[in-house]
Amino acid sequence: MSGFKVVQPGILTLIQDGGRIGHHRIGLTTGGPLDREAFLWANRLLGNSSNATVLEVSIGGLMLEAQIDSAIVLTGGELPLKINGVEQERWCVHPVKAGDRIEAGFSTAGARGYLAVAGGFQIAYSFDSAATVTRESLGGLNGDKLAQGDLLVAQPATVPRLRLPEQHRPDYSADVTLRVICGYQQHAFSQVQKRMFFSSEYTVTDRADRMGYRLEGPQITPSIDGILSEGICHGAIQVPADGQPIVLLNDRQTIGGYPKIGSMIARDTGRMCQLLSGAKVSFEEISVEDAHNLHWLAQRRSAQVELESLD
């Protein structure tokens, strides 16, 4: 077997595909890429399946050594990309040869990058997915983050050199307004509490990870202390006893018992997950119909983007 050898694993580099769908009934969470948009662009630029396995590189510090001739691309946060010590453009396909060293440096904006290879990394599935969820010791190579000396199997490949035009690349530098659909438990929050939530600014704390982003700001107090544990959707915003919201993400537990004021739309969870500790966020209430429209408009716009050829 050959592919890419891990020389330096970085702070937190995880093998991810589209996620482990359909297994909540046995207590397995979804996993998958936190920034799905960047994940999909990485695979599209290489002509991969939209579910092909990539590396999610948190903060940076990754170094790989190619053992095959192939092509790679790095999308997502601004992690400097170098091949054999020479800085390269992100959001752009680059050929690599056996012996080349590939580095994803430490981020200057955005928390996570997505390093994809032509054809995807060849990782065995666990419960229909290669997605790594470290809390469950499931997926990836051994249910954990990458380690020095790991081998990421891939096949030799030659693909066209394509580039995503700069005007279509996400901006990871600014604080953001995140859109929320209120759920049936919104009635546990008075109108005053809801107005406070939607008119206030919150700060991303250092307790922000793949399970959930814990925020700090004005205290939101529901009229109930808790509920019977129930299934939790992606983006659900729980409000525990301290009144500080928690946005639940890909590696969340499948059930929980805190009141939820609503759920953030999936497009915005990806944007939030690129924020580092100290960033500011605010919330905007939208309807289910608005969320559907935003989703399909974004899908349509992405499909119409013409990639630039560099060959």
Query: Over pLDDT 70: what percentage of the chain?
Result: 100
What is residue 117's three-state secondary structure? strand
Q: Is the dihedral of CA 20, 183, 273, 300 positive or negative?
A: positive
Residue 226 to residue 245: CA distance in whole angstroms: 14
E-state strands within 119-165: 151-153, 162-163
11: Cβ–Cβ under 8 A, 6 or more apart, which residues? 58, 59, 60, 61
pLDDT at 148: 98
- Is the model's pLDDT at 304 over the cut of 80? yes
Residue type, 206: D
| CA–CA distances in Å: residue 272 to residues 76, 213, 222, 248, 266 | 12, 8, 24, 11, 10
- Is the model's pLDDT at 225 over the cut of 80? no
Q: Are 91 and 77 in contact (CB under 8 A)?
A: no
Residue 71: strand pairing partners: 95
Residue 183 to residue 172: CA distance in whole angstroms: 28
pLDDT at 274: 97
pLDDT at 257: 87
Report pLDDT digits (tens) over 127-145. Answer: 999 999 999 999 999 999 9
pLDDT at 174: 76
- Is the model's pLDDT at 1 over the cut of 90? no
pLDDT at 52: 98
- Is the model's pLDDT at 74 over the cut of 90? yes
Per-domain residue ranges for the chain?
Answer: 3-168, 176-301
Strands 280-285, 176-182: pairing kind:
parallel
E strand or H helix that includes residue 14: strand 12-16
- Is the model's pLDDT at 229 over the cut of 90? no
CATH of domain 176-301: 2.40.100.10
pLDDT at 114: 98
Look at 175 and 243; give whichever has higher pLDDT: 243
- Is the model's pLDDT at 226 over the cut of 80? no
Mean pLDDT in residue range 40-44: 98
Q: How confident is the model at residue 224 (pLDDT cuts 50, 70, 90)?
A: confident
- Is the model's pLDDT at 220 over the cut of 90? yes
- Is the model's pLDDT at 311 over the cut of 90? no
Strands 260-264, 3-9: pairing kind:
unpaired
Residue 237 to residue 232: CA distance in whole angstroms: 9
Residue 76 structure tokens: 């997502």
Residue 258 structure tokens: 């805190």
Mean pLDDT in residue range 21-39: 96
Whose structure tokens read 């530098």?
A: 173
Residue 226 to residue 80: CA distance in whole angstroms: 45
Query: Over pLDDT 90: what percentage of the chain?
Result: 94
- Is the model's pLDDT at 204 over the cut of 80? yes
